[in-house]
Amino acid sequence: MFDFSGTLFRLEEDPSWFAGISVDDREVDGHVQAELMRRLTAPTGRSVEMGPQEYHAWCNRDLAPHLHREAYLHVLRESGVADHHAESLYQRVIDPASWTPYPDTAQVLSTLAAHGIKTAVVSNIAFDIRPAFAAIGADKHVDEFVLSFEVGAVKPDSAIFTAALQRLGVAAADTVMVGDSDEADGGARAVGCGFALVDPLPTAERPDGLLRAVRDFGFEV
């Protein structure tokens, strides 16, 4: 089983996304871009102040698209981004075409499939990521997409891992969860799965992280 963001794909900013955007009336530089992207992709924690309504949306953002939108627009606005620019950046976040695959993503998924090893993408997310896999020809190598907004459970809740195992028809003891968050993805250990942690580095800086992770568990890829 694989996480999506920071594991198989990464949302990496294009400078053109920030053209004409200012934060607190200051031009967005590389440092500010990186911080905004961190706030938009961090799997756990919160980076801005939130009232009760915003906090509710934040805690449940991966269960419903409207809460996801509300939560991240609040993050961007609280980060100093004007409303119309916040909407523009948010649309980038939920566009599967904006996400960059890690260099070994397609290889790992296709090789596991060739060896008859079932795979699932288990993600806390509120939009359909299947087109990102189709764009690199990897969708046919994923047996199941277990997405939080479709199954009604978010990692580390055991329910989402149990759903994935049931769909795959495999035992937890024979399964490894690969992800970039010990807190969220590591929740798979509670149902008896193995767990491999990868670093959510920029894609150019992690050419073989997935390969090494699955090889460490004895898979031949």
Q: Domains of the chain (ranges plus CATH)?
A: 11-98 (no CATH), 99-216 (3.40.50.1000)
31-83, pLDDT tens digit by residue?
A: 778 888 888 887 777 788 999 999 999 999 999 999 999 999 999 999 888 88
70-114, pLDDT tens digit by residue?
A: 999 999 999 888 888 889 899 999 999 999 999 999 999 999 999
* pLDDT reported for residue 19: 78
HEC per residue, the chain:
CECCECCCEEECCCHHHHCCCEECCEECCHHHHHHHHHHHHCCCCCCCCCCHHHHHHHHCCCCCHHHHHHHHHHHHHHCCECHHHHHHHHHHHCCHHHEEECCCHHHHHHHHHHCCCCCEEEECCCCCCHHHHHHCCCHHHCCEEEEHHHHCCCCCCHHHHHHHHHHHCCCHHHCEEEECCCCCHHHHHHHCCEEEECCCCCHHHCCCHHHHHHHHCCCCC
